[in-house]
Amino acid sequence: MPRNFIHDDSIWICLIIATSLVVILMAIFSLTHGINDIFPYFFLVPVILAAYAFPERAVMVTVTLAGIYFVLVWMFGTLSATMIAVHTAWFFVFVSLGVVISHFAEISKIRKNQVEHLKKEAFQQIENNMEQLLILNDQIRNPLQAILLDASVLDENTNVLISDQVKTIEVILDQLDERYLESEKVRKFLRKYYSFEKK
């Protein structure tokens, strides 16, 4: 099954790189023009994107972005004790946010994989049950014919009684056949739209 366009790794990588470059340019512009309050918030965008898209690498990417942020502040900012304290705090905010988001994104990914696995197992069990139902249906019909044949040698009342019961069972088996055909439509739908393959 082809991967969804939005989940393609190359798309996420390009998006993270593009937003990182834009944010770095905005930071340089802000710092060289004495604007210190707004640009740190923009660094949250690539941090969140990286943590969501690549939870296993999010800490490394987040630390890298936070490091770039800190270097930009030292290179282009007007340094004072207050500014150093504020930007150091932002550094730890970026890293902490990356760790937290990556943790929850990883849990979400694991749970999604578990749900997909359970769905496939459930579908396979449905497949097995339907095949068994079809086999049992045939296995019940054959002895019923033998019972009818044996009942024909009995007295008329017993023969009629047994024939009526066999017909009742055959009606039930016909209903099972109808349910099987309905279930087969559902199976085809699941195979087509949820990519469940018949083993």
List of residues 6+ apart from 36 with CB closer than 8 A: 30, 77, 78, 83, 86
Residue length of the chain: 199
> What pLDDT, on the 0 to 100 scale, is given for residue 54?
85
Mean pLDDT, the chain, integer: 82
- How sure is the predictor about 198, in pLDDT bands with cuts at 50, 70 and 90? low
Residue whose structure tokens are 């097995």: 128
Do residues 69 and 46 lie in contact, with contact meaning Cβ atoms separated by under 8 Å? Answer: no
Q: E strands within the chain?
A: none
What's the pLDDT tens digit per position in 101-143?
Answer: 888 888 888 888 888 888 888 778 877 877 887 788 778 888 8
What's the pLDDT tens digit per position in 30-86?
Answer: 888 888 788 888 888 998 888 888 888 878 888 888 888 888 888 887 777 887 888
Measured CA angle at 118 (ends 114, 122), to 5 deg: 175
Q: Which of 54, 43, 58, 45 is nearest to 100 (CA)?
A: 58
Do residues 102 and 58 lie in contact, with contact meaning Cβ atoms separated by under 8 Å? Answer: yes
Give me the numbers of helices (H) and strands (E) for the chain, helices first please. 6, 0
Structure letter (DSSP) for residue 195: -
List of residues 6+ apart from 170 with CB closer than 8 A: 141, 144
List of residues 6+ apart from 154 with CB closer than 8 A: 162
Task: Give this prediction's pTM.
Answer: 0.55
Do residues 180 and 130 lie in contact, with contact meaning Cβ atoms separated by under 8 Å? Answer: yes
